[in-house]
Amino acid sequence: SHSSTLRHEASPLPPPPKGNGVHGELEVVTTLQSHWLHYLHDAVRRLTGDGAVALMKLASEAESEAQSVAQRRTQRSKLRGLYESDELLEHIAAVQHDNASAAVTGVRSWAMCPLHLRMPSQQELRVLFADLDPKVRQGGIDDAIRAWFAEERHRMGLRLLSHGYTALLAHFARTGVPAGMRGRVWCGALQVQLCERDYSYYAQLVSEISRISQVLDPLVKRDVAIPFNEEDYFVFCDKIEELLLCFMRDPAVLQKSAESGWHVRASNRAGQQSVFPPNGLLPPRGLSQYAFPLCYAFHAQEELYYLFRAMWTRYWCKLHCFSSRPGTLLHLLAVFESTLQELQPALCWHLLELELHPTTVAFPWILYAFSSYLPVEQVLLLWDRVVGFDSLLPLPVLAASIFAFRASALMQAQDADRARRILMDPSKLQVVPLLQAVLFVPSSLAI
């Protein structure tokens, strides 16, 4: 076990993590989970120099010679987060599924997601996303063309905000929120209302940053320093650094998360066991990507923090867990693969022939909710729908739609590099028309 120094009184152990070997979870998922946790364990061990450096310690405490050496080695490493998206995908693709039909028939599916999960059918998706029907005017398209519609959305938004009813605000977000009121609407839809106690809690977390240093801090700082879409986000690096360091020290994240994240267990000098890091989440590369787009809609630091935390615990944590439950990462991957196969089987075949697996391109898009790929305006329009429909399904559906949109150019590509370059080009992509097309008028994508 790792040694760590924790000053505060041992708080009661958090409730057992959901999904970790709980009755009902598929064996292949638990295998995957244990392999992955083992991998992360090793990464953490390497980070602490095999136990030489404490996972968490008082910043004021002096460190021994061995600790300083190990610390310096940690500092020199170029890690920007404990794991990258491709490492995660590699592990998913590598898992052996004893029950797969391929074991019997010898015909292996091209899909990387190892599970055969129940997919929503095209009809079910249309019902679920009825508000995205092309017959319904959308924020993101129609308000740019028709001034009266933009004004109407504005008026309606103000009226709903004055009532403050959560469900109505979420429903309003389904058809896009005007940029001027996005912050307030999301706060209402996610029930983030700050009171005195919240401000002091945040202030406490900020003071924790200087009081306790974690071995993960340099990783988080490096991740924030170079965002994926640097041009859009470089201005906010300082704000997000503080935000994430607080996030890493906030035990409420562990309690509130819909799906518990990957973490290790550690014991302090007194032998008391607890979760490390305190928020129950080992930071991936790109953790900051879930926060940067919010800077365009939220400006007060505390509001930004609580909204980010609310979105993480409600939505993004599902992207960093292994489970067969609908709405989590594996299910979303399966939705992407089956939607793409249904829409563009020839394109799938062609890309696989070029040795460019579609999931390897789409995985970072889905994992980071497109904030690493699309310009910020489009990301916010997409996240409007995630909040409005209270679902992550727009992510894989949009990914499949982008492939279909680029299909004619991709079919002409003769090598993997060219195909990859076509896919990695985010110009001319508009989230709302793409979603509408793939759900309701798929034939319009095949131009």
Partner 1 sequence: MRRSSQGPGGGGGTIRFRTTFHNTIYDVFRARNWKETDSETDWDVAWIDTGWIRENFDTMHLEEHQRINHFRNHYELTRKDCMNKNLKRMQRALQREDRHDEAGKYDFFPNTYVLPVDYGLFVEEFKHHQAGSIWIMKPIGKAQGKGIFLFSKLSQITEWKKDHKWKPDSPQAETYVVQRYLENPMLIGGKKFDLRIYALVTSFMPLVVYLYRSGFARFSSFRYNTNQKNLGDTYVHLTNVAVQKTGPGYDAGAGCKWPLRNLKLYLIGKFGVQATDKLFYEIQELVISSLLSVQKVMIHDKHCFEMYGYDILIDDALKPWLIEVNASPSLTADTPQDYELKFGLLDDLYTVIDVENKLGGVMEECVGGYDLIYNNGPMKRDKQTCYTTRLGCFDDRVRQLKRLHKAHAKRSSASSDK
CB of 155 to partner 1, least distance (A): 12
Return residues touching partner 1 (CB under 8 A).
Answer: 144-147, 150-151, 154, 178-183, 230-232, 234-239, 295-299, 376-377
Tracing tokens 């009184």 back to the chain, one arrives at 9
CB of 315 to partner 1, least distance (A): 20
DSSP run (H or E) holding 214: strand 212-214
Give yes or no for a contact between 419 and 351, defined as CB atoms under 8 angstroms apart: yes
In this complex, which beta carbon is closest to partner 1, that of residue 89 or of residue 379? 379
In this complex, which beta carbon is closest to partner 1, that of residue 177 or of residue 348? 177
Orientation angle between helical segments 301-314 and 196-211, nearest 10 degrees = 90
In this complex, which beta carbon is closest to partner 1, that of residue 100 or of residue 409? 409
Give yes or no for a contact between 287 and 219, defined as CB atoms under 8 angstroms apart: no
DSSP run (H or E) holding 165: none
CB of 378 to partner 1, least distance (A): 11
In this complex, which beta carbon is closest to partner 1, that of residue 123 or of residue 427? 427
Q: Which two tokens stand for residue 23?
A: 């009755």
Q: How far apart are CA 85 and CA 112, in angstroms?
A: 14
User: What's at 419, amino acid-wise?
Assistant: A
63 C-beta neighbours (distance < 10 Å), count: 14
Beta 56-58 vs 212-214: how paired, if at all? Answer: antiparallel
CB of 370 to partner 1, least distance (A): 16
Find, among 225, 264, 231, 263, the residue nearest to 245 by Cα: 225
CB of 158 to partner 1, least distance (A): 10
Q: How far apart are CA 195 and CA 51, in angstroms?
A: 41
DSSP string covering 376-429: HHHHHHHHHHHHHHT-STHHHHHHHHHHHHTHHHHHH--SHHHHHHHHT--TT-
Q: How far apart are CA 303 and CA 285, in angstroms?
A: 24
CB of 150 to partner 1, least distance (A): 5
In this complex, which beta carbon is closest to partner 1, that of residue 202 or of residue 292? 292
Q: How far apart are CA 355 and CA 357, in angstroms?
A: 6
In this complex, which beta carbon is closest to partner 1, that of residue 22 or of residue 144? 144
In this complex, which beta carbon is closest to partner 1, that of residue 73 or of residue 420? 420
CB of 43 to partner 1, least distance (A): 27
84 C-beta neighbours (distance < 10 Å), count: 16
CB of 183 to partner 1, least distance (A): 7
CB of 384 to partner 1, least distance (A): 13
Residues forming a β-bridge with 213: 57
CB of 234 to partner 1, least distance (A): 5
For 425, residues 6+ apart whose C-beta sits below 8 A from its C-beta are none
Q: Which two tokens stand for residue 351?
A: 């890309």
In this complex, which beta carbon is closest to partner 1, that of residue 142 or of residue 337? 142
In this complex, which beta carbon is closest to partner 1, that of residue 184 or of residue 249? 184
In this complex, which beta carbon is closest to partner 1, that of residue 13 or of residue 226? 226
313 C-beta neighbours (distance < 10 Å), count: 21
In this complex, which beta carbon is closest to partner 1, that of residue 236 or of residue 315? 236
User: What's at 202, amino acid-wise?
Assistant: Y
CB of 186 to partner 1, least distance (A): 11
Residues forming a β-bridge with 3: 267
Give yes or no for a contact between 343 and 400, defined as CB atoms under 8 angstroms apart: yes
